[in-house]
Amino acid sequence: MDGTKHKEVVQSWFDSAVREGGIERYDDLHIDQIDEAWKTRSKWTAAALESFKTALSVRDAYAGDTYFKIVLAFALVSESHPLGITFRGRWELENSFSSTPPSLYVFRKGGEFWNQAEESRGKRIKNDLVIKMLNASELFGEMQETVECIYMEYQRVGDEEYSRDVFLTG
């Protein structure tokens, strides 16, 4: 599949999220839904970064009056105890990926996962929430200045394992 087809898939997902309530439902778009060839784990990072850039350009072309944030989520392996940041570079990060391919989300500014988690601390999640800012360029190569990289680790009430994610947001 070529870049034009990729953009069409991302555009369709974005339009649905913005116009049909997908933001509120957390409708995500896994990279392997954009291109079947991206199911292969070795392609995840490059495909995810390409998808993120495409989603940013789709968002930037949107003519609405609401500002949206695009989030690229990398789910990491979970454990029954907090692991913290177990990677120092891209290769170690890729070895920490869970079995779920990376996915895109769209949020209204301020509604991202880490903001919601901070607001709900002690309600829906335990008090051992970890949110850390990382250097996106150190993990993924050169990034736009406006792109942020966030590590989040938490245990939802009722879960036995700690969830861990790395997010790029722009």
Q: Name the domain count of the chain.
A: 1
More confident residue, 66 or 137: 137
Q: Name the token pair of 94.
A: 């890729």
Please check the confidence at residue 122 and state whether its pLDDT lies above 60: no
Work out the average pLDDT over 138-147.
Answer: 90
d(CA 162, CA 13): 29
Average pLDDT, stretch 43-70?
93
Residue 50 predicted with pLDDT over 80: yes
Q: Name the residue range of residue 147's domain.
A: 3-169
Contact 61, 18 (CB under 8 A): no
pTM of the model: 0.90
In whole angstroms, what is the distance from residue 13 CA to residue 29 CA?
Answer: 7
